[in-house]
Amino acid sequence: MKHLFSIFFSTLLVMILSCSSGNESNDDDTPQQQDPQYNPVEEEAFAFPGAQGFGNKVTGGRGGQVIKVSNLNDSGVGSLRNAILASGARIIVFDVSGTIELSSSITITNPNITIAGQTAPGDGITLKNHSLKINTDNVIIRYMRSRMGDEGADQADAMEGRYHKNIIIDHCSMSWSTDECASFYANENFTMQWCVLAESLRNSIHESGVHGYGGIWGGKNASFHHNLLAHHDNRNPRFDHPAIYPSPDNTSEFRGVVDFRNNVIYNWGTDATYGGEAGTFNMINNYYKPGPATQTPQRMLHAYKQATSTSTVYGFGDFYVNGNIVEGYDAINSDNWIGVVAKNGTTADKEAMQLNEPLPSGEWSFVHTAQQAFDKTVLYAGASLVRDDVDSRIVSNVQNGTYTAEGSNGSAHGIIDSQSDVGGWPVLQTLTAPQDSDNDGMPDAWELANNLNPNLNDASERYLSTAYDNIEVYINSLVKNITDNQY
């Protein structure tokens, strides 16, 4: 009988303790979610909020794996190069900030990729010595810096891409290139927006001699808006032309409408915007500000013609030019066509170039006047979540009509020959990345604040938005203040 009582009371004690423990917290202090009820925001999917122009619907790495960059090494596990060279859809985020000294260019060859530079803690990411190249489709790059310089002895653009489709470059900063700062042409459904391109190197290491160029821009359904070009001798930008394509007489695969609007061009040397042989271009509401190095202040567009008279694309391009400002030249501002010059052309040639209606330009939620574009671009262009000393200095030059240095090899008035002329690469502060228990790219604190489980990898779920993955909602939230205020 004593034995039966002992069993009875033991069983009762276990039951009591079990019931009691159900009312106590788990050993894990992290709240656990049980069948959470989500109400995702109904919204239209863009590349990201604020994406405009022909590349605004690029998907990048949406739906793919999240890859973390955990060090500043040139290559190897945890490096940016490794993340870029991975296959499959992927969204690259950063657990580090600082300067990555490249031993060679990084080329994106596998499609469906998003590089979210805004996720870097501290002062962000800068690439040094070599370029970042795009050689694939469906690419989103945001809030990155590529500041090449001459130490790597690379004759290249700081960032470039051609012969691909569905690409958007947003809020990036490029400088100190030895060829062009950033060249993008022959792409289809392309946008480059809110970028800073500055101080390409003029008398540097390029085998062809004098350079110092902003970029070659063109393509088929290609948008360039709210970009700041400063301190380039030439190509601000150079619009593309048939001779650079594999089959100059048949460029329809690579050329179509190029929409160039709301850009700011400061302190060009010999030429501002030029070229465009046999192409089709909008030039709308751009702001040209001559500077100390500017030799052609009254020439906004210097149009060229394809020189081979037997070519099927012989002739000047077609241009819709309206709403642009050349600071200090009221006559041009009243009639933009006064600021257009047809190289070696006749009056009839110039008249034939002029379009009276704008070309189709993709989707736009907002278009600024030239003055508004100037004001907004100096505030928000480039990797502006945390502006480094280079961009801050460039913006100050643009606002005040000044420059920082003479070139060390004969260039002058802000057109430089080496990055050392202006002090070289700034030191970037790095901070510890926030805790991310499930390693899904979203910090625990942010997940908890948004009713997500910090111990469950749910980066690619759509709990918060019908348009964007959870990880996209996070990376977009980091720059929401900029996105909300730039338009």
Residues with catalytic roles = 235
Q: Which residues contact 7 (CB under 8 A, 6 or more apart)?
A: none
Give the Å distances, CA to CA, from 304 to 4, 55, 240, 278, 314.
Answer: 104, 27, 10, 9, 11
What are the C-alpha distances in Å from 391 to residues 342, 346, 387, 395, 451? 34, 41, 6, 6, 37
Taking CA atoms, 243 is separated from 249, 305, 307, 408, in Å, by 9, 11, 9, 34
Q: Exposed (0-12), middle (13-18) or buried (19+): which is 478, by Cβ within 10 Å?
A: middle
3-state DSSP assignment of residue 246: coil
Whether the bond into 237 is cis, omega within 30 of 0 = yes
Residue 169, strand partner residues? 141, 192
H helix or E strand, kind and range, residue 333: helix 330-334
Do the Cβ atoms of 214 and 245 come closer than 8 Å?
no
Residue 134 and residue 201: Cα distance in Å, rounded? 22
Q: Whose CA is closest to 205, among 100, 145, 129, 271?
A: 129
Within 8 A by CB and 6+ apart from 343, the residues are 274, 302, 303, 304, 305
Say which DSSP state 132 is in. E
Instruction: Quickly tell me which residue has 């391009």 as its tokens.
Output: 317
